[in-house]
Amino acid sequence: MAGLSPLVSVLLVAPLMFGLGILLQRGLLNRTLNTGMLPPLLTTFGLSVIVQNVLQIGFSADTQGLDAGSLEVASAQVVPGVTLGVLPLITFAVCVLILAGLNLLFSRTPLGRAFRATSDDPATAELMGINSRQIYGLAMGLSLAVVAVGGVLLGVRTTFAPSDGPARLIYAFETVIIGGLGSLWGTLAGGIILGVSQNVGAQLNPAWFQLAGHLVTLALLAFRPTGLFARTRDA
């Protein structure tokens, strides 16, 4: 390949994934939407099995990494005595920027209104002239684009293998459960809480990294099932 820095490649990967998301939703998943939530759920599950195994054939089961050069180890002194890695800082900044952008999109633009209306009640939204299938396509495109950014940042930070997806899906799910459905800033808080609890768990016992995250999620589910900052009720 051209040897682009991974962080620059995002500018190509994200739009590509956006297009792929629209194609996927409009070409395939929209066809499964008429009879409840089981068909889309199982279709995507089947797709995930296919994608994992295609990746395994293409790239073998070995772990890979994205090389961002010296950036990976660079660190900056924030206040005297406290140094933070540049990469984590960039990751955090990108994350906040994306969330802020999405928040603006959802709360301030006609498109965002259409998203929210379709999410609340697709039938009524259609009566108001919204093409819900188009909205689903855009939502999937947007979602894949954001995931692509996350994936690249993650790939720079750590190694990955074809079968790593499901574990990441679980983290994403836990983040949303902790933060609360429909709340973007809640997701940020959820992600931080999940990450901190995983690392605290790992400090106590190296084997407890994932377990701590699961337990925090389940505890939250038990005591505050709507999450910390829930905005919608259809959890």
Partner 1 sequence: MKGNRMPKSESLPAAPVKPFHLSLRVLAVSGIALVAALLSLPLWASANLMRTLVEFICFLAMAQMWDLLAGYSGMVSFGQQTWIGLGGYTLIVFADDLGVNMFLAVIVGGVVTALVAVPTAALAFRLRGGYFAVGTWVIAEGFRLLIASSTEWLQGGLGRTLTAAGNMPRNEREMFTYWLAVVIGVGSVMLVYWLMRSRVGLGLTAIRDSEVAAMSVGVKITRIKLLVFIIAAFGTGVVGGLIYLNALRITPQSSFNIQWAAYMAFIVVIGGLGTIEGPIVGAVVFFTLREFLADFGPWSLILLGGIAVFMMLVAPEGLWGLAHRRWGAEIFPIRRRLKPES
Binding site for partner 1 (CB under 8 A): 28, 31-32, 35-39, 41-43, 45-50, 52-54, 56-57, 166, 169-170, 173-174, 177, 181, 205, 207-208, 210-211, 214-215, 217-218, 221-222, 225, 234-235
Between 30 and 134, whose beta carbon lies closer to partner 1? 30
CB of 109 to partner 1, least distance (A): 26
To the nearest whole angstrom, how small is the minimum distance from the Cβ of residue 188 to partner 1? 19
Give the pair of three-digit tokens for residue 54.
């295609």
* Bridge partner list, 77: 83
Q: How far is 144 from 88, CA to CA, in rounded Å?
A: 22
DSSP-assigned letter for residue 202: H
The CA-based angle 208-60-71, given to 5 degrees, is 65
What phi, psi does 121 have (nearest 5°)?
A: -160, 90
Shorter beta-carbon distance to partner 1: residue 49 or 196: 49
Closest to partner 1 by CB, 6 vs 191, is 191
CB of 174 or CB of 193, closer to partner 1: 174
- In the bound complex, what is the minimum distance in angstroms from residue 77's beta carbon to partner 1? 37
Tokens of 119: 């999410």
Closest CA to 140 of 41, 21, 47: 21
16 SS3 class: helix
- For partner 1, the closer of residues 2 and 223 by Cβ is 223
* Distance in Å, CB of 66 to partner 1, minimum: 23
Q: How far is the CB of 174 from partner 1 (least distance, A)?
A: 7
Which three-class secondary structure state does DSSP give residue 91? helix
CA–CA separation, 233 and 214 (whole Å): 22
